[in-house]
Amino acid sequence: MPVPARRPAWRKRLADFLDLPRDVVLDLPRISVIGDLQLQLQNHRGLVEYLPERVVIAMRDGRLIVRGEELVIAGVNPEELIVTGRIHAVEFRR
């Protein structure tokens, strides 16, 4: 997957103008959280750390830290990553 070095401003403007989903245009991660049970992350860059109480996932522009209890990586493939368990917090880190 080619990774652009910078986010060109014209792409953001195009996305705004055409009302396109930004994750598609800007290559941003898309996160869906279902209650505190499941977190689904598309467009990830791999796993940095995995512990039952903390999962650190690499993204294009930083990291996503999922805190909780008995966290399980229910599924992982190049497109998406699913974390289940009791999720307490989701934190973005640059």
Q: Which stretch binds other proteins (CB under 8 A): 5-13, 14-22, 24-32, 65-73?
A: 65-73
62 binds other proteins (CB under 8 A): no
CA distance 49 to 83: 13
Residue number, 16 or 49, with CB nearest to other proteins:
49
Span near other proteins by CB under 8 A; candidates 7-15, 19-27, 28-36, 76-84: 76-84
Instruction: Write the burial class of residue 25 (CB in 10 Å: 0-12 exposed, 13-18 middle, 19+ buried).
Output: middle
Using CB under 8 A as the criterion, which residues of the chain lie in contact with other proteins when the complex forms?
Answer: 46-52, 71-78
